[in-house]
Each structure stands twice: as C-alpha cells, then as structure tokens.
C-alpha cells in the first residue's frame, strides 16, 4: 500500500499526500521545488539516511503521486498539507529543508504553526521571501516575468517545460555533469504534474510576500544559493532572507545554477550535513 495521508486543507477536495519515510534518527523533511516532485531528492536521501537520519520526502498536492485537486495551490493550503504530514507522523526536533518553491512552505509553516517541532530550517535555491519586484522590493522580478510563465503554461506547457528544464541546470555550462537522460527524467516528472497545479503555483511562488514570516523565524537557519542561478535571483530570495532571519547563515555555491542539487550535489550534501550536525 502506498504511503498516503488525507489532509485537512481544502476539505471538499479530499486531498491525499504521498510520502516516503526512510531511516531512523532525527527527522529531516525535504520539500521539493516546482515543477518537480519528491523524486528530485534522489541524490540527497541516501546520503542523509546513511549519515544516521530519518528522511521524509513527500509530493506537493498536484505533483508526483499526490492528489490533483483543481483548487488549493496557495501557500496556506499547501503548508497545511505539510502540517498534517508532520502531525500524522508525530515528528519532533525536525530539520525542515525546502528547495526553490519549497522555501515558501518553510516560511509559511513557521509563521502559521510555530517552530515547537522544528530544530533547524534550510532554504535551498529558495524563492522566499519575495520574488516580485515592487517599490519596496526593487531586486525582485517584474510581474511580466510571471505573466509570461503563466501564458506559456496555458498555451504550450510541454514546450515551456522542455526549455525551462535546460535553464534550470544551466545545461550549456554543465553538459559534463547533466546527461540528456536526466533532462528527460526531469521533464517527465514535470509534464506528469497537474496542469492546473503547475499554472497556479506560479502565482504562489512568484507573488507571495513572505518577508514578515521570515523575519519572525527564531531557529537556526541556513540559506544555500548558487551564484549562477538563472531562475531565482539570489538578491530578493536567499540574500534578503539571510538579512531578515536573525543569526542565519548564507552559503553561496560558486557556479551553482538553480538545480544545484544535481550539478553540485556533493557540495550541497556536505553543506547539509555540516549544518545539521
């Protein structure tokens, strides 16, 4: 039987969240990015389990093997799914790590549910705290960027995701590290996701302001970002987050693209283990 939990968010949709639970020890919950699934953590899970940790990965609603509701792709609903998973498994002393869009769940979770169950937070190539360019967030991306992504997903989702996949890992620069097979695999994960979920998540990660939420974080926090990220600029995200979270650490991976969990997996894994220990 697959590992599924029924969530309380958007109750009329009867959403089930797929998860995997590996190893034993202090729990580490990994929150995947858009438009992928928990399968993206293939090269992190074994390293963490073999280091003596219990690792939980799950598929965000609309992605992977979780339910595909038509509505409910706002951060509050998606974070409620995460909360339900943590409560069902009765996890405590958690290291909560989020990649890209997954960083938004971390910020929302800390603000909505507090950090009594959380020992540390790790933001990897994170969108949090705020990607949208506004008068008081000048380093963000113009709204036209997100409107363009939405139009592309509406009109040619497959074509857009194919091109996005190459930019995701700076493929021209890292053909020696990323195979065509890996690109094809990422595309398969992305194209299998809910079209509506893929579309609606753009609004969530592109236009949700989580600056207040991050400023309130009071547990040890690490931000990791690549200095060659062509998808999520580090200035409004990890750099700003580091400034907002008192006492946090910021690690910049030289040459790291957005998908550094693939291109720089050894360096990322070392940073994760060092911070968790």
**pLDDT (tens digit, 9 = 90+) per residue, 175-219?**
999 999 999 999 999 999 999 999 999 999 999 999 999 999 999
- Mean pLDDT, the chain, rounded, equals 96
Which pLDDT score, from 0 to 100, does residue 1 have? 44
- 8 A C-beta contact, residue 43 and residue 109: no
Which pLDDT score, from 0 to 100, does residue 12 have? 62
Q: Which two tokens stand for residue 143?
A: 């709204």
- Phi, psi of 261, rounded to the nearest 5 degrees: -65, -15
List active site positions: 100, 229, 258
Integer Cα distance of 9 and 76 in angstroms: 9
Q: Which two tokens stand for residue 118?
A: 């959380």
Q: Which two tokens stand for residue 158?
A: 């497959």
Residues 6+ apart with CB under 8 A from 122: 95, 96, 97, 98, 221, 222, 224, 272, 275
**pLDDT (tens digit, 9 = 90+) per residue, 107-161?**
999 999 999 999 999 999 999 999 999 999 999 999 999 999 999 999 999 999 9
* Complete domains list, the chain, with CATH: 4-276 (3.40.50.1820)
pLDDT of 10 higher than 80: no
């Amino acid at each position: 039987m697959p590992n599924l939990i029924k969530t309380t968010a958007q109750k009329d949709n009867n959403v089930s969240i797929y998860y995997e639970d590996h190893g034993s020890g202090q729990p580490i919950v990994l929150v995947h990015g858009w438009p992928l699934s928990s399968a993206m953590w293939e090269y992190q899970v074994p390293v963490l389990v073999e280091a003596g940790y219990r690792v939980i990965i799950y598929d965000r609603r609309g992605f992977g093997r979780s339910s595909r509701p038509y509505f409910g792709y706002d951060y509050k609903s998606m974070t409620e799914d995460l909360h339900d998973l943590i409560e069902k498994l009765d996890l405590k002393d958690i290291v909560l790590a989020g990649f890209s869009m997954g960083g938004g769940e971390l910020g929302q979770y800390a603000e909505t549910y507090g950090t009594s169950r959380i020992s540390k937070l790790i933001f990897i190539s994170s969108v949090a705290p705020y990607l949208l360019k506004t008068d008081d967030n000048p380093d963000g991306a113009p709204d036209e960027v997100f409107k363009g992504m939405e139009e592309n997903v509406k009109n040619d989702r497959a074509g857009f995701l194919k091109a996005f996949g190459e930019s995701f890992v700076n493929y021209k620069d890292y053909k020696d590290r990323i195979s065509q097979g890996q690109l094809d695999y990422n595309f398969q994960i992305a194209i299998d996701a809910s079209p509506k979920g893929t579309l609606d998540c753009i609004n969530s990660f592109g236009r949700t302001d989580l600056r207040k939420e991050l400023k309130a974080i009071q547990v040890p926090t690490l931000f990791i970002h690549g200095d060659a990220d062509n998808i999520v600029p580090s200035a409004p995200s990890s750099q700003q987050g580091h400034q907002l979270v008192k006492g946090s650490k910021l690690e910049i991976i030289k040459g790291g693209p957005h998908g550094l969990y693939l291109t720089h997996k050894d360096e990322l894994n070392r940073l994760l283990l060092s911070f968790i220990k």
